[in-house]
Amino acid sequence: MDKKQIANMLEEMAFLLEFHGENVFKIRAFQNAARALGNASEPLEVLLEEPGRLEQIKGIGKSIAANIREYATTGRCNELEELRKKAPKDFENLIRVPGLGPKRLRVLVDELGIQTLEQLERACRTGEVTKLPGFGEKTVEKLLAGIAQVRSFSGQWLFPQGWEMAIKIVEDLKSLRSVKRIEIAGSLRRRKEVVRDIDILVATTDPEPIAARFVANVLVQSVVAQGDTKISVVLTNGMQADLRMVKPDAFPFALQYFTGSKEHNTHLRARAKKLGYRLNEYGLFPEDEKESARAEGLASVREEEDIYRALGLQYVPPELREDLGEIEAAQKGELPTLVSKEDYRGILHCHTNWSDGADTIEEMARQARRLWNAEYIAICDHSQSASYARGLDPERLRKQLQTIASMNKLSTDIVVLGGTECDILPDGSLDFPGEVLDQLDFVVVSIHSHFNMSKEQMTQRICRALEHPCADVLGHVSGRLLLMREPYALDLDKVLDAAARCRTIIEINGDPYRLDLDWRFCRAAKERGILFAVNPDAHSVGGLRNIEFGMNVARKGWLTRSDVVNCLSRNDLLTLIRENRNFRRRLAGRGTYSIS
DNA sequence: GCCGTTTTCGGCCCGACTGTTTTCAGTCG
């Protein structure tokens, strides 16, 4: 049980309370508590251990704390169970339909007896729904699209959800003596942002105790299939996990094979065939078995690297194995040296308790130094229009800058940069006047409202914002929330062209729900000469972990150290920002933009 | 249900959009 699960439970209670017509402020209390818990920096165990520690969190009182304790210790919550009893059967899926809130769901349940997604879909198609007051043609259209979306997202998990589970299983198996080697394979190893299952590969000559330990894991809910070399289970969170056991000799081949992608492997096997080999999960075999010289060469395969070498290729890091040109590049020796954690020097784009973050500037800075050995951290709280996030007006921003300045005088450990995540307003202007932005070290501009503009309007809006001299970085470009919300309509090519023209840095937002810019578009941006900022968008010290997820995207996007501005020293970064601003001022001087 | 306090009740963020209305409710961020 972790904080996220408990926060989800509280959110569900809020929704159910609203569904049952409870007091709006009680509902809000549960929503606030969910957010407060999610933002709390201490791990759940600490919060539960000390008596009264939970209640110290602002937004969590006696009653909700009791609910949390009950749920965390027993996995159930009486009050929640009571609320669920009176809710439709397929409640969990129904509430995920965009555009369907508690009030409309109430009407659908009362008037049509809707209990499941299927019943809702049928009622939409037969026209029953349009007869209800408040429901029209458009609503039904939206509901049908929403149902399709819920279905397409089910059975998929965000990278960290899969990774956490996989790590726990690996840790559990690692201690067994019969486990010679163990690796997470599949899409997790390729660091895909969304995964469907977990693949774990073990090298062993003694599979039985490993199999027994695997199926006995507390995370395993049921066993789907169990053979000598492969076991499939469903985990408590509904995710499928496959364990494969191979002989130690076959391990590198199996690891390569089960890492995929399928497309990469198909391409690789074709190459092997051309060279007179047959490649599969058990080995690389000469087509002509009698060719002893070749066979001897293969005896030296101990690692995946050796397989690629045997095929005349550079080693292809798992992140690149999507058959998007990596095999051709590896053949020419032109694979990039991917950016790595060790290259990372400074953190840009973090929130604090000045806006919607949970922790103080000091705490964020301290942890940035401790966890990432960062030389600098840019605090970028929300701007004034973001009222839902307690955005700062110019006066509070001025005070925050003063606070930062006095902090920097005291500490030489890490330098805190003053910044903002400034809203891009509907007309493409920025949420602070130019003279305010000018005083900041670092400005991220992002869209947080008015998502439903036409593709042309949205493209124009962003392109205009990029021309502002102080628009250093474009934040979460597409606005998508993985498995939750589609990106807004946007002509990405035009936006990238504008970013290249204006020397705007593009953010790779490391929030696991965003991972935006998508790695699939990184190369197109890089080819235009665009630089990237890999940012955590952390709303608490725990959120600093997002850097890791952002780096996964950068690596999947073929980026090197020189593509990522976080790898610059503080001086070089600030010089770059200054030069880019001057460049845009000269553009503005030519009449394309005037500072408002 | 939570918070704060001139401390045990009164207030709790709010604007925009959408689709449905004929002045507004529901949803979202």
Q: What is the mean pLDDT of chain A?
A: 90
- What per-residue confidence (pLDDT) applies to A298? 60
Hey, what amino acid is at A167?
A: I
| pLDDT value at residue A300 | 73
The neighbouring-strand residues paired with A224 are none
Q: Is the CB of A100 under 7 A from strand B?
A: yes
Residue A388 beta carbon within 7 A of nucleic strand B: yes
φ/ψ of A263, rounded to 5, equals -65, -40
Q: Is the pLDDT of residue A581 over 80?
A: yes
A490 touches strand B (CB under 7 A): no
**What's the rounded Cα separation, in Å, for the pair A570 and A54?**
39
Nucleotide nearest to A449 (CA to C1'): B29
Once rounded to an integer, what is the mean pLDDT over residues A243-248?
92
User: Which nt is closest to the CA of A452, judged by C1'?
Assistant: B17
pLDDT higher than threshold 70 for residue A595: no
Mean pLDDT to the nearest integer, A75-101: 88
C1' of nucleotide B4: residue with nearest CA: A58
The reported pLDDT for the residue numbered A425 is 92
CB-side neighbour CA atoms (13 Å) of A228 = 4
Interatomic distance A363 CA / B5 C1' (Å): 29
Q: DSSP labels for A243-274? A: EEEE-GGGHHHHHHHHH--HHHHHHHHHHHHH
Residue A537 — left, alpha, or beta (φ > 0 → left; ψ -120 to 50 → alpha)? left
- Is residue A436 within 8 A of residue A469, CB to CB? The reply is no
Dihedral angle of Cα A548, A553, A554, A558, to the nearest 10 degrees: 140
Please state, in angstroms and rounded to a whole number, the distance separating the CA atoms of residues A298 and A283: 9
Is the entire prediction scored with pTM above 0.85?
A: no
Query: Comparing A45-49, A65-69, A255-259, which segment has the lowest mean pLDDT?
Result: A45-49
- Is residue A138's beta carbon less than 7 angstroms from any atom in nucleic acid strand B? yes
Q: How far is the CA of A479 from the C1' of B17 (A)?
A: 17
Residue A493 in tokens: 């090519």
Q: Within 7 Å: CB of A29 and strand B?
A: yes
Per-residue pLDDT band for A289 (boundaries 50, 70, 90) equals: low
pLDDT tens-place string over residues A405-437: 999 998 778 999 999 999 999 999 999 999 999
| pLDDT 10s digits, A336-367 | 999 999 999 999 999 998 988 888 999 999 99
Question: Other CB atoms closer than 10 Å to residue A170's CB: what's the count?
Answer: 16
Q: Which nucleotide is nearest to A453 (CA to C1')?
A: B17
> What integer pLDDT is reported at residue A458 of this predicted model?
92
Arithmetic mean of pLDDT, A124-144: 89
Tens digit of each residue's pLDDT (9 = 90 or more) over A478-525: 998 888 888 888 999 999 999 999 999 999 999 999 999 999 999 999
Is the minimum distance from the CB of A127 to strand B below 7 Å?
A: no
pLDDT of res. A262: 87
The separation, in Å, between residue A344 CA and nucleotide B29 C1' comes to 32
Strand B positions closer than 7 A to protein CB: 1-4, 11-21, 25-29
Alpha-helical runs (H) found in A175-317 = 186-189, 207-215, 251-259, 262-274, 292-299, 304-310
pLDDT at A284: 84
Does strand B come within 7 Å of the CB of A513? no
Q: Identify the band that residue A561 occupies on the pLDDT scale cut at 50, 70 and 90.
A: very high
Q: What is the pLDDT of residue A358?
A: 82
Q: Which of A521, A545, A550, A523 is nearest to A535 (CA)?
A: A550
Q: What is the crossing angle of helices A3-19 and A78-85, to 10°?
A: 40
The two structure tokens encoding residue A556: 């999947």
**pLDDT reading at A540 higher than 50:** yes
Q: How far, in Å, CA of A236 to CA of A218, rounded? A: 8
Structure tokens at A501: 């023209």
pLDDT for A512 equals 93
- Asked if A102 CB < 7 A from strand B, the reply is yes
A135 nearest nt, CA–C1': B20
Which of A154-163, A197-206, A297-306 comes out lowest in average pLDDT? A297-306
**DSSP helix/strand/coil, A68:** helix
Predicted pLDDT of residue A590: 66
